[in-house]
Structure 1
Amino acid sequence: MQCTSFPDDLVGLQADWLRTYRMLAARPATAGTTPLRRRLITLSCAISTHPYWSGPARTAGGPAELRRAAGARAWARAA
């Protein structure tokens, strides 16, 4: 298995995305979720257009590996 090293800013964006998603999931549908939904869209765009993805041949599992790398960071800040 190849170890992929992601830039800190990209991992940070993904960790923010995961935290925002958890906050959205925890809110009732009637609690005004628009700001969180907009934040998810902004973060998704920033992640998908990050210069890392335009580098030489990235593996197909890249996004999944990124989510795993960011998961620990997101949980650490949530605590």
Structure 2
Amino acid sequence: MTDYTFPADLVQAQSAWYAAYRQLAAEESPARTTVLRRRLQRLSVEIATHPYWADIPGHAPAARMALKEMAWEGHRP
């Protein structure tokens, strides 16, 4: 696997995505689930459109997986 150096704001957004996803999975209040779903959508757009991806043409899919794995490791219970 190639090593990637991700910008801090991108790592934070992916970590926040996992945190919101976990909150959504545990939430029972319909009003709160709507808020969390909207947060997930905003974070998904922020992650997908981050300028970092333009700097690594051809390697973006592998880099996206590396980012997800790194963020997942940081949020395991």
Normalising by the smaller structure, the TM-score range is 0.7 to 0.9
**TM-score (norm. length: structure 2):** 0.83
In the alignment, structure 2 segments of 5+ residues that lack a partner are: none
The percent of aligned pairs where both chains have the same amino acid is: 41
Equivalenced residue count is 74
- Counterpart code for 2:73: A
Which residue in 1 is equivalent to 2:74?
Answer: 73
Contact 1:16/1:74 (<8 A) preserved? no
Aligned Cα root-mean-square deviation (Å): 1.6
Q: CA deviation at 1:58?
A: 4.7
String of CA shifts for 1:52-73, please: whole Å, max 9, x gaps: 0111325221211111111233
In the alignment, structure 1 segments of 5+ residues that lack a partner are: none
Query: What secondary structure is seen at the aligned counterpart in 2 of 1:65?
Result: helix
Query: What secondary structure is seen at the aligned counterpart in 2 of 1:61?
Result: helix
Counterparts of 1:21 and 1:12 in 2: how far apart (Å)?
14
